[in-house]
Amino acid sequence: MRLKLLVIVVLFCHSALTDTLSIATASNFRPVLEQLSQTFSEQQNTDGKSHQINISSASSGVLYAQILQGAPFQLFFSANQSYPEKLVDSGHGESETLATYAIGKLILVSRYDATSPKEANPNELLLKAKRIAIANPRTAPYGIAAMEAIKSLGAAKEAQFKLVVGNNIAQAWQFFHSGNADVTIVAASLAYLAESAAVKEQQQGLVAIDLSSYLKHPVRQSRVAIKPVSLLAQQFLDFMNTPVAEKIIIDGGYLLPIKGKDINP
Amino acid sequence: MNLLASDITALWLTLQLAVVTTVILMVIGAPLAWWLSHSTSRFASVVEASVALPLILPPTVIGFYLLIAFSPDNFLGSSWLALTGQPLAFTFSGLVVGSVIYSLPFVVQPLQSGFQHFDNKLLEAAETMGAGTLDRFLNLIIPLTKRAFATAALLGFAHTMGEFGVVLMIGGNISGETQVLSIALYDHVEALDYQRAHWLAGGLLAFSFILLIVLYGFNRHKTVSNTGVKQL
* Cβ–Cβ under 8 Å, residues B107 and B25: yes
* Conformation bin of residue A104: beta by default, left when phi > 0, alpha when psi is -120 to 50: beta
Tell me which chain A residues have a C-beta less than 8 angstroms from the C-beta of B89.
131, 164, 175, 178, 180
Residue A96: pLDDT band with limits 50, 70, 90: very high
pLDDT at A44 over 90: no
Q: Per residue in A231-260, pLDDT tens?
A: 999 999 999 999 999 999 998 889 998 765
Of the partner residues B71, B174, B187, the one whose CB lies closest to the CB of residue A179: B71
Residue A260 falls inside a structural domain: no
Q: What is the CA radius of gyration of chain B?
A: 20
Domain edges within chain B: 2-57+92-226
User: Quick one: what percent of chain B has pLDDT higher than 90?
Assistant: 65
* Chain A residues touching B173 at Cβ < 8 A: 136, 164-167
In chain B, whose CA is at the least distance from the CA of A63?
A: B190
Residue A263, domain member (yes or no): no
Lowest mean pLDDT segment, chosen from A115-124, B7-16, B48-57: A115-124
Kindly report the pTM of this predicted structure.
0.80
Residues B11 and A191: their CA atoms lie apart, in Å, by 35
Give the pLDDT confidence of A196-212 residue by residue, as tens digits.
655 544 455 678 888 98
Q: Report chain A's terminal Cα–Cα distance, integer Å.
A: 56
Q: Which phi and psi angles does A58 have, rounded to 5°?
A: -165, -175
> Do A109 and A8 fall into the same domain?
no
- Same-domain check for residues A128 and A189: yes
Q: CB of A142 within 8 A of CB of A186? A: yes
Give mean pLDDT, residues B104-123. Answer: 90
For residues A36 and A18, membership in a common domain is answered with yes
Closest CA to A213 of A152, A138, A264: A152
Asked if A118 and A195 sit in the same domain, the reply is: yes
User: pLDDT value at position A39?
Assistant: 95
**Which range marks the domain in which residue A109 is found?**
104-214
A183 and A172 both lie in a single domain = yes
Q: Tell me: the pLDDT tens digits for B120-174?
A: 888 888 888 888 888 888 888 888 888 899 999 999 999 999 999 999 999 998 9
Q: Alpha-carbon distance B170 to B175, whole Å?
A: 14
The predicted model gives B199-218 an average pLDDT of: 91
Does one domain contain both A64 and A156? no
User: Structural domain tally of chain A?
Assistant: 2
Q: Which CATH number fits domain B2-57+92-226: 1.10.150.20, 1.20.1740.10, 3.40.50.720, 1.10.3720.10?
A: 1.10.3720.10
